[in-house]
Structure formats: structure tokens, C-alpha cells
């Protein structure tokens, strides 16, 4: 493929960050925006604007579509994109239910299309360092993480508004938003746990923060996520021979510290300001290589992450439309 021509769906903050990343990466160009409002669509400054996804998908001048709409709409929008024969970049959290995730993956494979969950830490070097360094710390016994970031949208919630990011009708809440990064990292490093518990702080039926406990055969992993407090963010993995610490939040894994009896080192090969470029480069390189095996393998991690959130919600009684 010469230059991958990208359409984007949604006009929120993350779309603007994605467009900046696409601009910096060779081999891909954003050509069209899809918004419910022509004005907001035009605001993104791309060549073409659509107010209907159906219309955008008829455009032969678009090869791939990036979807950044509220969580509960991910599945239906991605299904439309894949069914139309276009490649798809789908924002995190991929889907709110496992059967929906499996269906999207099945369609992508059947049609030989590239489908990816966009979640920046998954495509950077630091997560691979972390994964490889697990062998240095011996038998893992404890995992503890915290990702707490006071959200301006929490203030809106307290004032009686209902931003999408919190709205259960759109698959919102702390687990699906901020704690999803911790969920994803657990899934990436350890796969599916044996049991999943979620103890949320609820406000008007919305989990604004909470603690997720994952029991693996040999260790327990506790993961706090909050949109109603701020904290020091970290992801700690303690083994019998040492420990690993992600310094700061798991939305990017900015730096990893390894401490064993014999050595101590810090690792970082990422540039925080370019945090989304890795996933865009991965998308371009994978499409050009015609070998989607690694991307499809990563969708297995995504499936485990979706499975964890679905179990956690069920345990806590957090229901979304369609559950
Ligand atoms: N990867 C990351 O690090 C990261 C970071 C932040 C967010 N995200 C994810 O990206 C997605 C969007 O987040 P955001 O913060 O950009 O959200 P947002 O600011 O609330 O924007 C949501 C966008 O969805 C579009 N949309 C389309 N159909 C909609 C509908 N029926 N109802 C409401 N909105 C609709 C809206 O665009 P129009 O109004 O123009 O149609 C709106 O711009 C979420 O799934 C979130 O989890 C990922």
C-alpha cells in the first residue's frame, strides 16, 4: 500500500492527539472526519467531512478507519467498518463484552483485515522490557498498582451532568476508563486470572473509583483506579528475587525500575510526547508487511482484558445496556 488513507470517527481530545501522531508517522495520512456535526468535523481540518459513518465507508479513497467514540459504541462502529472491508483502529476499551470482541476479531480474520486496539503502552519498547525482566525477579507473589487521576469531568458529574466517560449507558466508569490500563497490563503480562473481584466506590450507580483484585495461580494482583482522587501512580511486581516498578501511570509505562539482590537499573526508550506514535507506526508497518500475525496475537491480550472487565462488572453489579 502506498500511503494509507485514514478516516477518523469522533472529534474528542484523543482524536486530536491521534491526528498529531498520524502527521508525524510516514506512510499514513488522515483524509476524512466523521462527526455528528459538520462543524465539529470540519474543525479537524481534514480534506473530507462526513456526518454519517455509512457514507464515509462508501468512500473508496479511505483504506482504514480510526474509531474514538464512547465505549459502548465501539463494537457497532467497528463492525460497520470491518464489514465494509476497511482496516480498523479501535480505541480502548476495545469492547464491553467478550462475545462482541470475538465477533470483531472473527470478521477481521475472515476478511483479512487489520484490526487493532489503540492503547499506547502496548506498542512501546518499555512494556517489552518489563515482560522480559519478569524472569529476573523470581517467583512472583504480589502485584499492586494504582492509577488515580482526578478528572475535570468528575466535577461535572458532581454538578449533576453526565459526561460519556462516566455514563453507564455509554459503557463509562472508572474501571472501563482509567483502571482499564492496569487491566490491560495484567492481561499482557499474566493472561487471564483464576478469579476477578471488583470493589468500587459508587456514586449514583457509577464507579468513580475502585479496587480490582485478580487472583492468579501463584500470586494476587490488586489494582486501584480512580477518577475522583489523585495519587502516585505505579505498577509494582514483587518476586522472591526482586521487584519491578512501572514509574507513573500504566497509560504509557514511562519508565521501568528493576531491583534484584545483585543489581538495580532503570529503563526507558520512549518519548512521552510521542506516546501514540508507536501504535500508528505498528499499524503502518503491519499493513505494509501483509503479515498480521503479531497484531492478531495482541488481540488475544485484548480479549483477556475485555474478559477481566466483564467479570469485574458482573461481580460488582455494574450493568450496561445489552448485558
Ligand atoms: N488511548 C488512549 O489513551 C485514550 C485516551 C482517551 C480516550 N480514549 C478512548 O477514546 C474514546 C473517546 O474518548 P474521548 O475522551 O475522546 O471522548 P469524548 O471527548 O467524550 O468524545 C467522544 C466522541 O465520540 C463522538 N460520538 C459519535 N457518536 C456519538 C454518540 N452517539 N454519542 C456521543 N458521542 C458520539 C463524538 O464526536 P461528534 O460529537 O463529533 O460526533 C465525540 O467527539 C473512549 O472510548 C476513550 O476510552 C483513549
Nearest CA to ligand 1 atom 11: 68
Q: What is the pLDDT of residues 101-123, one digit of tens each?
A: 999 999 999 999 999 999 999 99
Q: Work out the average pLDDT over 71-98.
A: 98
Whether 294 is in a domain gets the answer no
pLDDT of residue 217: 98
In the predicted structure, residue 160 carries a pLDDT above the cut 90? yes
Strands in 140-148's sheet, in edge-to-edge order, are 195-203, 206-215, 220-226, 140-148, 234-239, 242-247, 255-260, 264-267
Whether 156 is in a domain gets the answer yes
pLDDT of residue 11: 98
Domain tally, the chain: 2
Q: What is the pLDDT of residues 230-267, one digit of tens each?
A: 999 999 999 999 999 999 999 999 999 999 999 999 99
The enclosing domain of 197 has a CATH number of: 3.30.360.10
- CA-to-CA distance for 56 and 48, rounded, in angstroms? 9
Report the sign of the C-alpha dihedral through residues 33, 38, 40, 44, in that order.
Answer: positive
In the predicted structure, residue 277 carries a pLDDT above the cut 80? yes
- CA-to-CA distance for 69 and 79, rounded, in angstroms? 14
- CA-to-CA distance for 111 and 64, rounded, in angstroms? 13
Nearest CA to ligand 1 atom 17: 12
Residues 109 and 134 in one domain: no
Q: What number does the ligand 1 atom closest to the CA of 180 have?
A: 47
Q: What is the pLDDT of residues 12-30, one digit of tens each?
A: 999 999 999 999 999 999 9
Q: How far is the CA of 296 from the centre of ligand 1 (A)?
A: 24
Residues 101 and 182 in one domain: no
Cβ(164) – ligand 1 distance below 6 Å: yes
- CA-to-CA distance for 159 and 131, rounded, in angstroms? 42
Three cell numbers written together for 234: 505505579
Cβ(251) – ligand 1 distance below 6 Å: yes
Q: What is the pLDDT of residues 187-210, one digit of tens each?
A: 999 999 999 999 999 999 999 999
pLDDT of residue 69: 98
Q: Which domain holds residue 25?
A: 4-120
For residue 166, give Cα distances in angstroms to 21, 22, 178, 226.
Answer: 27, 28, 11, 12
As a whole number of Å, the CA-based R_g of the chain is 19
The enclosing domain of 92 has a CATH number of: 3.40.50.720
In the predicted structure, residue 2 carries a pLDDT above the cut 90? no
Amino acid at each position: 500500500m502506498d500511503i494509507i488513507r485514514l478516516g477518523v470517527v469522533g472529534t474528542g481530545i484523543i482524536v486530536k492527539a491521534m491526528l498529531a501522531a498520524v502527521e508525524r508517522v510516514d506512510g499514513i495520512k488522515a483524509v476524512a472526519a466523521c462527526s455528528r456535526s459538520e462543524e465539529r468535523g470540519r474543525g479537524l481540518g481534514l480534506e473530507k467531512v462526513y456526518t454519517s459513518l455509512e457514507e464515509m465507508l462508501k468512500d473508496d479513497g479511505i483504506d482504514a478507519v480510526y474509531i474514538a467514540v464512547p465505549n459502548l459504541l465501539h463494537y457497532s462502529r467497528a463492525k460497520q467498518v470491518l464489514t465494509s472491508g476497511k482496516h480498523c483502529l479501535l480505541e480502548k476499551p476495545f469492547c464491553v463484552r467478550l462475545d462482541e470482541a470475538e465477533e470483531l476479531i472473527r470478521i477481521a480474520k475472515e476478511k483479512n483485515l487489520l484490526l487493532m486496539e489503540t492503547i499506547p503502552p502496548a506498542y512501546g519498547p518499555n512494556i517489552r522490557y518489563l515482560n522480559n525482566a519478569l524472569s529476573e525477579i523470581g517467583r512472583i507473589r504480589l502485584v499492586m498498582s494504582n492509577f488515580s487521576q482526578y478528572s475535570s469531568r468528575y466535577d461535572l458529574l458532581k454538578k449533576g451532568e453526565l459526561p460519556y466517560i462516566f455514563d453507564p449507558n455509554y459503557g463509562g466508569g472508572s474501571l472501563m476508563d482509567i483502571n482499564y490500563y492496569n487491566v490491560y497490563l495484567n492481561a499482557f503480562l499474566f493472561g487471564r486470572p483464576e478469579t476477578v473481584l471488583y470493589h468500587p466506590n459508587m456514586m449514583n450507580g457509577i464507579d468513580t473509583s475502585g479496587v480490582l483484585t485478580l487472583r492468579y495461580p501463584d500470586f494476587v494482583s490488586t489494582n486501584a483506579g480512580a477518577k475522583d482522587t489523585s495519587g502516585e501512580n505505579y505498577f509494582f511486581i514483587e518476586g522472591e528475587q526482586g521487584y519491578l516498578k512501572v514509574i507513573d501511570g500504566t497509560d504509557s509505562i514511562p519508565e521501568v525500575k528493576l531491583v534484584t539482590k545483585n543489581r538495580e537499573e532503570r529503563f526507558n526508550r520512549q518519548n512521552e510526547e510521542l506516546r501514540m506514535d508507536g501504535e500508528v507506526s505498528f499499524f503502518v508497518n503491519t499493513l505494509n508487511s501483509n503479515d498480521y500475525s503479531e497484531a492478531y496475537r495482541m488481540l488475544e491480550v485484548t480479549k483477556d482484558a475485555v474478559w477481566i472487565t466483564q467479570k469485574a462488572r458482573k461481580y460488582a453489579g455494574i450493568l450496561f445496556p445489552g448485558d
